[in-house]
Structure 1
Amino acid sequence: MIPAESLAIFVLASLALAATPGPNVALIVGTSLKHGRRAGILTAMGVNVGVIVQLALVSAGLAYVVEAFSRHFDLVRYAGAAYLVFLAIQQWRHAGEGADMPAPSARAAFGRGLAVAFANPKTLLFHAAFLPQFVTDVQDPVPQIALLAAIFAAIALASDTLWAVVADHARTALKGRFTRLADRVSAGILLGGAAILLAAGRR
């Protein structure tokens, strides 16, 4: 059993990590600013399904999958950055169009989140190094890693949903003459997410 003190430290660390903006948050906020809360939350769900799959891989001890991501680290993150740039260009080009540019379907919004979650290999490598630090049962670490993964996943989903809701409130406040500005800020946030991916290193 993981000591309560270690578990509390893990929760605090997870809260800090989940609240730190990165490519996933950039996509969620950018989507909510442009298309509203529903699209933002669906995107957050897609992101977090990707995170849960990554956590499951770590929990199952599939070291060869982690190694595969590590081996193709740059290729994966470049692809992810290119995708975020593409979305940013689309939002910049259609800034201020509102109803003329329909929101992505539920499947498309979810798929965007899932794609960007997997386009950030550093997340998988980080979890592979982060979670085991809180494991006390080295003989059978899988149950404890699975518990830690579940806690982190719950915190990440709550945090990402909050980002989507806050961005939607900002979108509502900027409606009307500021719609174009909100859309361009959204595009800028997506570009920021791409820049984070491009700047990411293995360490």
Structure 2
Amino acid sequence: MISAESLAVFVLACLALGATPGPNVALIVGTSLKHGRKAGLLSAMGVNVGLVLQLAVVAAGLSWVVDLFARHFDLVRYLGAAYLIWLAVMQWRGAGKSTTAPHTSNHAAFGRGFAVAFANPKTLLFHAAFLPQFVTDTAHPAGQIALLAAVFAVIALIGDIIWAVVADKARAALSGHFTKMADRVSAGILAGGALVLLAAGRR
């Protein structure tokens, strides 16, 4: 059983990671700014379904999946960065325009979140290296890693929901004459997420 001290340190580490913006947060914030809270929350759900699958891979000890991502590290992150840049361009070009198909946008938001969750191979490699550090009983690590993965997933989901809600509040404050500016800020955030991916290394 994992010790209370290790679990407490792990929770603090998860909170610190959740407060650090990355490509996932860029997508969630950008989506909320452009399409509103519902789309932002759906984007967060997509991101976290992808995250849970990554954590499940680590908890199940599927090292071949981790190795696959490691071998194609650059290809995956370049594709992810290109996708975020494409979203940023579309956002910029549509700045100030009303969303003509909100249901389509909401439906696509989940898929975008899920796709971007897998766009950064460093995330999966990070989980594979990060979680075992907090295992206190190395003879029976599987159950402890599963518990740590579940805790990480819950904290990440709560953090992403907060990002989506805060971004929607900012969108409401910038409504009216500032809608175009909000959309362009959203595009800039998405482009920033792409830059983070392009700058990501294995370490």
Structure 2 segments unaligned to the other structure (5+ residues): none
Report the Cα distance in structure 2 between the residues aligned to 1:51 and 1:134, rounded to whole angstroms. Answer: 19
**Offset at residue 139 of structure 1 (A):** 1.7
> Which residue in the other structure is 1:34 paired with?
34
Q: 1:201 to 1:103 in 2, by over 3 A?
A: farther
> Which residue in the other structure is 2:162 paired with?
162
Report the Cα distance in structure 1 between the residues aligned to 2:35 and 2:127, rounded to whole angstroms. Answer: 31
Structure 1 segments unaligned to the other structure (5+ residues): none
Report the Cα distance in structure 2 between the residues aligned to 1:133 and 1:195, rounded to whole angstroms. Answer: 29
* Counterpart secondary structure, 2:96: coil
Report the Cα distance in structure 2 between the residues aligned to 1:35 and 1:105, rounded to whole angstroms. Answer: 7
* Percent of matched pairs sharing the same residue: 74
Report the Cα distance in structure 1 between the residues aligned to 2:182 and 2:106, rounded to whole angstroms. Answer: 22
> Which residue in the other structure is 1:8 paired with?
8
Report the Cα distance in structure 1 between the residues aligned to 2:108 and 2:163, rounded to whole angstroms. Answer: 19
Contact 1:70–1:121 (8 Å) recurs in 2: yes
> Which residue in the other structure is 2:45 paired with?
45
Corresponding letter in the other structure for 1:144: Q
Q: Deviations over 1:8-43 (max 9, x none)?
A: 000000000011100000000000000000000000
- Say whether 1:109 aligns with 2:103: no
* Counterpart secondary structure, 1:97: coil
Contact 1:94–1:101 (8 Å) recurs in 2: no
**If the length of structure 1 is used for normalisation, what is the TM-score?**
0.98
Report the Cα distance in structure 2 between the residues aligned to 1:182 and 1:18, rounded to whole angstroms. Answer: 24
**If the length of structure 2 is used for normalisation, what is the TM-score?**
0.98
Report the Cα distance in structure 1 between the residues aligned to 2:181 and 2:26, rounded to whole angstroms. Answer: 17
**Offset at residue 157 of structure 1 (A):** 0.2
> Which residue in the other structure is 2:58 paired with?
58
